[in-house]
C-alpha cells in the first residue's frame, strides 16, 4: 500500500503521483516505493518537476544502467549528453518537416517499445517535458499487460510460446527507405526475444512487440506481418491506452516490458523538446528470461 497520494491515469494502468519532487528521491528514500508502483502500475506521471540534466541522470541510475547508443561514436574526452527528442536546431530554428531528422521523429509515432533491437533492451524511459507545443505532441501509452490479460484465446494461441525478431531499420523503413539505410539503424544485428514476458517480481505476463519487429517464429514473412499488425491493433484499443498531453515540467516513466508507446504529430513549425533517458534491463528485471532457448 503506497503512502503517496496517487490518482489513476486510466482504468487499466498507470498512476499520477502527487506532491513529490523527484529531485528528492534517493536509493533508500522514496525510490523503493516508486519502484513498487512502477512494477504494479507500469506507468507513472509526476507533474511540476524542475529536474536538471544531472538530476535526470541521477534518477535514471536508480532504475539501472543508463543506455548509451552513441558510446562507439563519442570521443574519449567527450561527456555523455542527455538525449533530446526535439525538432530544435542548435541555432534555435526548427527542422523541416521532410528532412531526415524530422522523419526519424515521425518514426517514433509508430507503436513501439524502446531498444528491442539492441542486445540489451530498455527497462524504462524517463521523459521530461522541456518545450511543449500549442497542440498535438502527445505521448500515448498502451498496456500490453492489460491487453494480454484480455486477449481472446484464438489470437493469444497464435503467439504464445513463440519468439519475435527485431531490427532498428524495420521501423524506419515504414517511414522512409532512405532513412532506414542510414548507418545508425544498422549498428546492431537482429535481436530475438520471447513474445510473452513474465515480470519476475509479480509474475504478471505481457506481450512484447514493437514497430521494430519483423518476424515471428514459425511464420512466413507475410504471416508474421499480418499477425504483428493484428496483435498491435488489439493492444492499442482505447481501453488499453493513455494519451499524455505534455506540460513543461512533466515527467513520465513507464515499463518498456509491459507498455508500448508512440508520439503524435504537432504543428511542425513549432519547437518541441523532451529529454529522454532509457535505462537498460538488468538480470534482476528478467533479462535472461527474455531470451528464448535455442
CB neighbour class for 188 (10 Å; exposed up to 12, middle 13-18, buried from 19): middle
The predicted-structure confidence for 154-202, as pLDDT tens digits, reads as follows 999 999 999 999 999 999 999 999 999 999 999 999 999 999 999 999 9
Residue given cell 548507418 in the structure block: 183
Of the listed ranges 56-70, 92-106, 247-261, the one predicted with least confidence: 92-106
DSSP 57-88: HHHHHHHSPBP-TTTTTS-TTPPP---EEE-B
How many Å apart are CA 37 and CA 25, to the nearest integer?
Answer: 14
**Which domains are delineated in the chain?**
5-290 (3.60.130.10)
Q: What is the DSSP letter of 28?
A: T
CA atoms within 13 A on the CB side of 263: 25
The end-to-end CA distance of the chain, in Å, is 40
User: Does residue 96 have a pLDDT over 90?
Assistant: no
In the prediction, which pLDDT does 282 show? 98
CA 34 remoteness from chain centre: 18
In the prediction, which pLDDT does 29 show? 96
User: Does residue 1 have a pLDDT over 60?
Assistant: no
For range 76-84, the mean pLDDT: 91
- Count, in order, helices (H) and strands (E) of the chain: 9, 15
- Reduce the secondary structure of 87-140 to three states and give it as a string: CECCCCCECCCCCHHHHHHHHCCCCECCCCCCCCCEEEEEEEEEECCCCCCCEE
DSSP E strands, 173-292: 191-194, 196-198, 205-207, 213-216, 241-244, 251-255, 259-263, 273-280
For range 140-153, the mean pLDDT: 98
Phi and psi (nearest 5°) for 102?
A: -70, -40
In the prediction, which pLDDT does 2 show? 66
The predicted-structure confidence for 27-73, as pLDDT tens digits, reads as follows 999 999 999 999 999 999 999 999 999 999 999 999 999 999 988 88
Mean pLDDT score of the chain? 95
User: Does residue 119 have a pLDDT over 70?
Assistant: yes
- β-sheet bridge partners, residue 112: 261
Local confidence band at 81 (pLDDT 50, 70, 90 cut-offs): very high
The SS3 assignment for 149 reads helix
DSSP 170-204: HHHHTT-HHHHTSGGGGSS--EEEESEEE-TTT--
Global confidence as pTM: 0.95
Amino acid at each position: 500500500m503506497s503512502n503517496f497520494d496517487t490518482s489513476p491515469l486510466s482504468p487499466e494502468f498507470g498512476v499520477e503521483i502527487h506532491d513529490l519532487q523527484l529531485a528528492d528521491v534517493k536509493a533508500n528514500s522514496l525510490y523503493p516505493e516508486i519502484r513498487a508502483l512502477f512494477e504494479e502500475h507500469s506507468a507513472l506521471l509526476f507533474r511540476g518537476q524542475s529536474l536538471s540534466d544531472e538530476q535526470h541522470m541521477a534518477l535514471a541510475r536508480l532504475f539501472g544502467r543508463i543506455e548509451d547508443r552513441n558510446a562507439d561514436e563519442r570521443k574519449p574526452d567527450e561527456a555523455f549528453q542527455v538525449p533530446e527528442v526535439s525538432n530544435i536546431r542548435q541555432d534555435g530554428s526548427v527542422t523541416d518537416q521532410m528532412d531526415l531528422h524530422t522523419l526519424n521523429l515521425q518514426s517514433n509515432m509508430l507503436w513501439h517499445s524502446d531498444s528491442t533491437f539492441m542486445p540489451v533492451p530498455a527497462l524504462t524511459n524517463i521523459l521530461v517535458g522541456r518545450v511543449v507545443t500549442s497542440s498535438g505532441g502527445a505521448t500515448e501509452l498502451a498496456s500490453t499487460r492489460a491487453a494480454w490479460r484480455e486477449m481472446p484465446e484464438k489470437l493469444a494461441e497464435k503467439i504464445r510460446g513463440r519468439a519475435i525478431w527485431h531490427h532498428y531499420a524495420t521501423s524506419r523503413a515504414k517511414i522512409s527507405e532512405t532513412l532506414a539505410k542510414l548507418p545508425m539503424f544498422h549498428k546492431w544485428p537482429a535481436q530475438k526475444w520471447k513474445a510473452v514476458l513474465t515480470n519476475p517480481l509479480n509474475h504478471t505476463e505481457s506481450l512484447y512487440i514493437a514497430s521494430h519487429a519483423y518476424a515471428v517464429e514459425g511464420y512466413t514473412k507475410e504471416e508474421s506481418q499480418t499477425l504483428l499488425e493484428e496483435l498491435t491493433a488489439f493492444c492499442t484499443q482505447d481501453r488499453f491506452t493513455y494519451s499524455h498531453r505534455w506540460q513543461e515540467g512533466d515527467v513520465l516513466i513507464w515499463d518498456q516490458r509491459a507498455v508500448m508507446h508512440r508520439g503524435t504529430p504537432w504543428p511542425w513549425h513549432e519547437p518541441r523538446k523532451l529529454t529522454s533517458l532509457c535505462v537498460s534491463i538488468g538480470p534482476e528485471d528478467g533479462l535472461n528470461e527474455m531470451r528464448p532457448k535455442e
